[in-house]
Homo-oligomer: A and B are copies of this chain.
Amino acid sequence: MDVREGKEKFIEAWGKMATEWGINRTMAQVHALLLISPDPLTADQVMADLDISRGNVNMNLRALMDWGLVHKQLKAGERKEYFFAEKDMWTVVRQIIIQRKKRELEPMLKVLDEVASVEENCPESKQFNEVVSDIRMFSHKANQTLDTLIKADSNWFTNIFLRMVR
C-alpha cells in the first residue's frame, strides 16, 4: 500500500470512530492529519488537504488545542502559525482521559451525589436508590482509577495491561 492511500484510510477511519464517540468528525480528521504529518502544518495546508473552509480549520484547531492534543509552533521570520499534534500515544490517551473526565464524569458524579439523598418510602424510591447507589459507587471507583492512570507513566500503564491479560 502507498502512503497516500494509507493516509486517506487512516484519516477516514479516525474521523468515523470519533463520531461514534461524540466527537466532531472534522476535528478528528484534522487531528489525524497532524498526527501522521512529519512536520507542523499551517491552517492553509490543513484546509487544502482536507478540503474544508478556513473558519472550520480555525475552530477545530482551537478545539484541539483546548484538548491539549495539538500545539502551535511559531517559526522565526515567518508570520504564519504552524500546528503539530502530540505524537506519543500514551500522552494522547492521557490527555483525552483528563479532559473527558473533567467534562463528563465529574459533572455526572455531582448529579449522582445530589440525587442520592432521595428519601426512601415506596418501591419506586427503593429501586431508584438502589440503582443510583450502584452507579454512584461504580463511577466513584472509575474516577479514582482514572486519577491513578493519569498520574502513572507509560510503562506502568503497559504493565497494568499485561497484568490484566495474564
Contacts and interface: CB of A to CB of B under 8 A. Distances in A.
Interface string A127-153: 110111011001001101101110000
A33 B153 CA distance: 40
Copies in the complex: 2
Interface size class of A (residues with CB under 8 A): 35 or more
B144 A38 contact: no
A59 interface: no
B131 A35 contact: yes
A7 to B, nearest CB: 6
Interface of A: 1-3, 5-7, 9-10, 13, 17, 19-23, 35-39, 87-90, 93, 100, 103-104, 107-108, 111-112, 114-115, 117-119, 122-128, 130-132, 134-135, 138, 141-142, 144-145, 147-149, 158, 160-161, 164-165
